[in-house]
Amino acid sequence: KQDLSQKRVFMFLELMEIHFLEKTNTSFYADKIGISSKRLNQILKEKLNLTAKQIIQQRQITEAKRRLVRSEITIKELAFILGFDSMSSFSRFFKKHIGVSPSVFRQ
């Protein structure tokens, strides 16, 4: 059982790394692994103390910070790359997690 849970954590992390830009819903990953969303979250919570959504959001934030610092793309372009449907929803998300807006972070 221990090994299976660990294997599923690794499967989730590998899938998330490939798909996090376009797939942010837990059910996508659970379906790929062959378990329910609830079970996936139980395993991740047990092993990493985070839900799938929280892990995906952390990855989005890491990517956003990296691109804000290293590239010249606009914040609007970045929002769409990260799968947000508007710049304002991305800005709210970023500010909630980082404490400052994407434009302030970039400066």
Q: Tens digit of pLDDT for each residue in 11-60? A: 999 999 999 998 999 999 999 999 999 999 999 999 999 999 999 999 99
pLDDT digits (tens, 9 = 90+) for 74-101: 999 999 999 899 999 999 999 999 999 9
Task: Give this prediction's pTM.
Answer: 0.88
∠ CA 56-33-3 to the nearest 5 degrees?
Answer: 95
Phi, psi of 12 (to 5 degrees): -60, -50
Which three-class secondary structure state does DSSP give residue 88?
helix
Rounded CA gap, 32 and 12, in Å? Answer: 9
Cα distance from N-terminal residue to C-terminal residue, the chain: 48
